[in-house]
């Protein structure tokens, strides 16, 4: 990937044609109420566009069109290879428009153009292609039955799906959900985060160009109470997949219980530990991984390494190396390709993160906020795992450091949390690494690295980090399908005749 200059990116941003309407039944439309809301560039505070502020009436209309598309089979009963071809064409169109999507994502979310160009957009395209290629390669099953029977276990698309997205990875989380949902044959109603709607609307436009039938992919912008809750409570939506905060995620369980008992899959928060033992090799490399885990995407990442649980014998040296690597994570204009940390997504979120900084008593590094949008890479020592900064999800570039004396203590502290999304353990002892990975109650545990796996590995959490399913891998397809048993009696009627 060849990056452009800051001025070149600004020129592209100035010339963007920004989508503003809801995308329902194959075209852009205003909200039924005519209401709009502003979307702004969080790095500058400048207004980007007025977006259709949808409500329950728009959700009803989108669901009606999604249901019609699903029931008449224009997508759900299309041959698997034909669905694959459409999604492959979408991936190709996204590749042709990758730079436009990257700039649009950056100005709408505050994410750095560096990350958008090198991570978010390429991974989004890869995700769509991967699930497209899986469509005609996932087989159903034949159960072991008697010689007089055949028992088939088949997958069927679950129906109309509501997809509720977060604002921290707008394009990538959209792909994580629509990839397997569309591959399965579902019709979808998507609620992007109100802070970051632009790229979801643009992708829907590209999907129509790729040949996706109208009504199959619908984007309904708006607030949580106006759009998210109506999706969660809708009697004609068969399943909801939500990514976001644990508090909001739990509401969807209530919405389901109070409506039609729809399937619910939740991917929620994390307070993820990075354990560094006294035998960890190459502390400089360890520090680089810890810094990347803590500060990538400004810490606005549910799988961020926000707790460093470090053995007392290596804490001092490790913190020195962390300080060295953190200097490379500079803040500034997100459209400058030399900048590694952009703006926090909104003024409200900036204030929230600053509120946590105000509670920090032993700041090792950083700790300062700038221009109402930027927060420095911050390292804070805390007295123990009961400290607020060690227990609550900050969702900003703040790393809390907890000192331990041994392996068992480190594992106990790692598990002493309401969350269980990701974890890392750094040690040269293979047995200790495997024991630790098994003992930590988290959906993904990396050894001697920070990471989330890749598209081939399931992503989701234990405890209050997740519920009902997993994103990524073939397992993601499970949540968008129902299993049906078809039992066929092969017995000869003469054998069953009664004298």
Name residue 488's beta-bridge partners. Answer: 150
Nearest to 240 by CA among 193, 196, 190: 190
To the query of whether residue 302 is one of the catalytic residues in this protein, the response is: yes
| Under 8 Å between Cβ of 150 and 490 | yes
Q: Whose structure tokens read 């969807």?
A: 252
* Residue 367 DSSP code: -
Tokens coding 286: 């360890």
Nearest to 127 by CA among 492, 466, 455: 455
Buried b (16+ CB within 10 A) or exposed e, 479-491: bbbeeeeeeeeee
Helix ranges (H only) for 296-336 are 312-326
In order, the DSSP letters of 54-86 are --HHHHHHHHHHHHHHHHTTTTTTS-HHHHHHH
**Percent helix, percent strand, percent coil in the chain, to nearest 5:** 40, 20, 35
Neighbours of 82 (CB within 10 A): 12
Nearest to 381 by CA among 392, 373, 389: 389
For 488, residues 6+ apart whose C-beta sits below 8 A from its C-beta are 149, 150, 151, 152
Interatomic CA distance for residues 42 and 419, integer angstroms: 29
The active-site residue out of 300, 302, 376, 393 is 302
Interatomic CA distance for residues 327 and 390, integer angstroms: 23
To the query of whether residue 38 is one of the catalytic residues in this protein, the response is: no
The active-site residue out of 267, 300, 376, 393 is 267
Q: Which of the residues are catalytic? A: 267, 302
């Amino acid at each position: 990937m060849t990056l452009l200059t800051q001025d070149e990116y600004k020129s592209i941003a100035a010339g963007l044609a920004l989508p503003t309407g809801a995308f329902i039944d194959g075209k852009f439309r205003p909200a039924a109420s005519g209401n709009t809301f502003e979307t702004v560039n969080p790095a500058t505070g400048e207004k980007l566009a007025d977006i259709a502020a949808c409500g329950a009436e728009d959700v009803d209309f989108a669901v009606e069109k999604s249901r019609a598309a699903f029931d008449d089979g224009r997508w759900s009963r299309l041959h698997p290879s034909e669905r694959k071809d459409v999604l492959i064409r979408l991936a190709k169109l996204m590749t042709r428009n990758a730079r436009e999507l990257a700039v649009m994502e950056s100005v709408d979310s505050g994410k750095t153009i560096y990350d958008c160009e090198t991570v978010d957009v390429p991974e989004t395209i890869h995700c769509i292609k991967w699930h497209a290629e899986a469509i005609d390669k996932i087989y159903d099953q034949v159960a072991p039955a008697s010689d007089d029977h055949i028992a088939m276990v088949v997958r069927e698309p679950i129906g109309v799906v509501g997809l509720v997205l977060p604002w921290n990875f707008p394009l990538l989380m959209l792909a994580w959900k629509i990839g397997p949902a569309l591959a399965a044959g579902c019709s979808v109603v998507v609620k992007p985060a109100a802070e970051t709607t632009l790229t979801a609307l643009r992708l829907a436009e590209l999907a129509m160009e790729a040949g996706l039938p109208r009504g199959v992919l619908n984007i309904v912008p708006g607030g949580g109470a106006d759009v998210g809750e109506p999706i969660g409570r809708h009697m004609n939506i068969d399943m909801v997949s939500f990514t976001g905060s644990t508090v909001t995620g739990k509401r969807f369980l209530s919405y389901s219980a109070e409506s039609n008992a729809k399937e619910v899959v939740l991917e929620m928060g994390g307070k993820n530990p990075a354990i560094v033992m006294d035998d960890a090799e190459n502390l400089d490399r360890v520090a680089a991984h810890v810094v990347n885990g803590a500060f990538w995407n400004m810490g606005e990442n549910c799988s961020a390494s926000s707790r460093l649980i470090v053995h007392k014998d290596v804490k001092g040296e490790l913190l020195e190396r962390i300080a060295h690597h953190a200097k490379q994570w500079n803040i500034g204009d997100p459209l400058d390709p030399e900048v590694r940390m952009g703006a926090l997504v909104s003024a409200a979120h900036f204030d929230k993160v600053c509120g946590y900084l105000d509670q920090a008593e032993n700041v090792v590094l950083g700790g300062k906020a700038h221009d109402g949008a930027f927060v420095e890479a911050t390292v804070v020592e805390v007295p123990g795992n009961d400290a607020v900064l060690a227990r609550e999800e900050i969702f900003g570039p703040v790393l809390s450091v907890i000192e331990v004396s041994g392996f068992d203590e480190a594992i106990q502290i790692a598990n002493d949390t309401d969350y269980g999304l990701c974890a890392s353990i750094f040690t040269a002892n293979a047995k200790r690494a495997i024991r630790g990975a098994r003992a930590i109650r988290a959906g993904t545990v990396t050894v001697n690295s920070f990471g989330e796996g890749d598209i081939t590995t399931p992503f989701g959490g234990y405890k209050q980090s997740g519920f009902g399913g997993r994103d990524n891998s073939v397992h993601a397809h499970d949540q968008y399908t129902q299993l049906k048993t078809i039992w066929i009696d092969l017995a000869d009627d003469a054998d069953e005749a009664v004298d």
